[in-house]
């Protein structure tokens, strides 16, 4: 790691943030163009968004959100345990995964939302399913739920995929930091008594690391909430005039959430409790 990255002075920091903004803009504007060219009828969420009862829709979303983020966090924690406790530090798989994780966890969560709307949902075949249901005149959260749970799990997998990519890197990063924070003498003393690896893990490592793992999960969940901002934006869009024009409110919302997202990603990186590895 060079000196520019480890101790940036204010001017270098300004330049770095400028570069980050330019990169974000370069990523965002092509996506923006795709969004502008897309007709409202093509937008996958629109039929779901026209649900008559907003409250039941909200609870349905929360239900999905909690169950799927629980799964994603569980996967992330398991993965971090495997990397940190079983693989030696010199293992190439571990180094590869750790590098990818640190890259992925730095990306603003808003971009994951765009990924979900533009790639996962259209290609997962959910739209056809929803349209089939809605042609019966039976639109709504209940019917969507019925579609998902009566043997058809595509929407579930699309959401899971998005959440896994969004939440897992952050969970892996914080869980690894939590496991590293368990004092080495505690581990060594337990091993010296003759405790097996699983006994050390269950009796000493997990109880000490658990609060930090939980905090990491919460942090990852809040990043997921930031992504939800995008879906709200899409919902507003779906209520836009049929000509496909952007409403002023929506542009304001999307711009605002983009700025907020960039800001939050800088803040999260700046004030993160995760110590960066100097290897």
Partner 1 sequence: MSIMKTTEKQPILGIHNLNVWYGDRQILRSLSFGVEQRRVTAFIGPANSGKSTLVRCLNRLNDFTPNFTFTGEVFFKGNSLYATKDADTVRKQIGMVFRKPTLFRGSIHENVAYGAQISGVTQSAALNASVERNLLRTGLWDLVKDILDDTPEQLPTGQQQLLCVARALAVEPEVLIFDEPCGELDPIETVKIETLVRELTDDCTVIFATNKRRQAARVSDVAGFLYGGELIEFGATEKIFTNPEDNRTEQYVTGRLG
Nearer to partner 1, 199 or 247 (CB): 199
Query: Token pair of 55, please?
Result: 């409250």
Report the C-alpha gap between 256 and 261 in whole angstroms. Answer: 8
- Report, in Å, the least distance between residue 177 CB and partner 1: 19
Where do we find the tokens 């005149």? 137
For residues 189-215, one letter each, b for 16 or more C-beta atoms within 10 angstroms of the residue's C-beta and e for the rest, the string is: ebeeeebeeeebbeebbeeebeebbee
Nearer to partner 1, 206 or 240 (CB): 206
Applying CB under 8 A, the residues found at the interface with partner 1 are 88-90, 183, 185-196, 199, 203-204, 207-208
Contact indicator for 151, 57 with CB cutoff of 8 Å: no
Nearer to partner 1, 53 or 188 (CB): 188
- Report, in Å, the least distance between residue 91 CB and partner 1: 10
Nearer to partner 1, 26 or 193 (CB): 193
Nearer to partner 1, 62 or 186 (CB): 186
- Report, in Å, the least distance between residue 90 CB and partner 1: 7
- Report, in Å, the least distance between residue 202 CB and partner 1: 12
- Report, in Å, the least distance between residue 82 CB and partner 1: 17
- Backbone phi and psi for residue 182, each to the nearest 5 degrees, phi listed first: -70, 125
CA distances from 157 to 47, 68, 70, 124, 151 (A): 19, 9, 14, 8, 12
Contact indicator for 202, 223 with CB cutoff of 8 Å: no
Report the C-alpha gap between 70 and 81 in whole angstroms. Answer: 16
- Report, in Å, the least distance between residue 189 CB and partner 1: 4
Report the C-alpha gap between 210 and 168 in whole angstroms. Answer: 17
Nearer to partner 1, 121 or 212 (CB): 212
């Amino acid at each position: 790691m060079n000196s520019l990255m480890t101790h940036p002075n204010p001017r270098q920091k300004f330049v770095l943030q400028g570069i980050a903004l330019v990169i974000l803009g370069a990523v965002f504007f092509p996506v923006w163009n795709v969004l502008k060219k897309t007709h409202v009828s093509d937008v996958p969420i629109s039929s779901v968004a026209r649900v008559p009862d907003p409250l039941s829709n909200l609870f349905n979303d929360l239900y999905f959100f909690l169950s799927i983020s629980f799964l994603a966090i569980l996967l992330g924690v398991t993965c971090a345990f495997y990397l940190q406790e079983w693989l030696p530090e010199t293992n190439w798989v571990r180094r590869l995964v750790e590098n990818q994780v640190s890259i992925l966890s730095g990306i603003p969560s808003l971009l994951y939302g765009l990924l979900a709307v533009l790639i996962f949902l259209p290609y997962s075949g959910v739209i056809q399913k929803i349209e089939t249901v809605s042609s019966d005149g039976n639109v709504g959260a209940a019917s969507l739920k019925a579609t998902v749970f009566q043997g058809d799990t595509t929407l579930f997998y699309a959401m899971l995929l998005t959440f896994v990519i969004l939440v897992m890197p952050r969970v892996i990063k914080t869980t690894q930091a939590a496991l590293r924070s368990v004092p080495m003498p505690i581990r060594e003393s337990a091993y010296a008594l003759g405790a097996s690896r699983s006994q050390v893990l269950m009796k000493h490592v997990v109880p000490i690391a658990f609060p930090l793992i939980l905090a990491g999960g919460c942090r990852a969940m809040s990043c997921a909430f930031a992504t939800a901002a995008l879906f709200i934006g899409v919902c507003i869009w779906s209520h836009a005039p049929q000509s496909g024009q952007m409403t002023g409110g929506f542009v304001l919302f999307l711009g605002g959430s983009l700025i907020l997202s960039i800001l939050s990603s800088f803040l999260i990186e700046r004030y993160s409790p995760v110590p960066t590895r100097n290897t």
